[in-house]
Amino acid sequence: MAKNNNIKQGKLIVFSAPSGSGKTTIVRHLLKQNELNLEFSISATSREKRGEEIDGKDYYYMSAKAFKNKIKADEFLEWEEVYRDNFYGTLKTEVERIWAMGKHVIFDIDVSGGLRIKRKYPEQTLAIFVKPPSIDELKIRLKKRKTESEDKINMRVAKASAELATAPLFDVIIENDTLNNALNEAYTLVSNFVNSNN
Residue 140, pLDDT score? 86
Strand partners, 44: 60, 89
Domain-wise residue ranges, the chain: 12-193
Residue 60, pLDDT score? 96
Alpha helices (H) in 108-196, listed in sequence order: 111-120, 135-145, 150-164, 179-194
Residue 2, pLDDT score? 47
Angle formed at CA 191 by CA 181 and CA 98, multiple of 5 degrees: 120
What is the distance of C-alpha 63 from the center of its chain? 21
Residue range 56-68: mean pLDDT, rounded: 95
What is the distance of C-alpha 195 from the center of its chain? 21
Q: What is the CATH number of domain 12-193?
A: 3.40.50.300
Overall residue count recorded for the chain in this entry: 198
Average pLDDT taken over every residue of the chain: 91
Residue 24 has pLDDT above 70, yes or no: yes
Name the percent of the chain lying above pLDDT 90. 69
From the CA atom positions of the chain, what is the Rg in Å? 16
Q: CA of 42: how far to CAs of 39, 109, 118, 150, 174, in Å?
A: 9, 10, 17, 28, 23
**114-153 tens-digit pLDDT:** 999 999 999 999 999 999 888 888 888 888 887 888 888 8
* Residue 169 identity: L
Residue 198 has pLDDT above 80, yes or no: no
Residue 190 has pLDDT above 60, yes or no: yes
- The span from the CA of 191 to the CA of 114, in Å, is 19
Residue range 88-104: mean pLDDT, rounded: 96
Element (H, E) at 95: helix 92-100
Residue 138, pLDDT score? 84
Q: In what order do the strands lie in the sheet with 104-108?
A: 38-40, 104-108, 12-16, 125-131, 172-175
Residue 157 has pLDDT above 90, yes or no: no
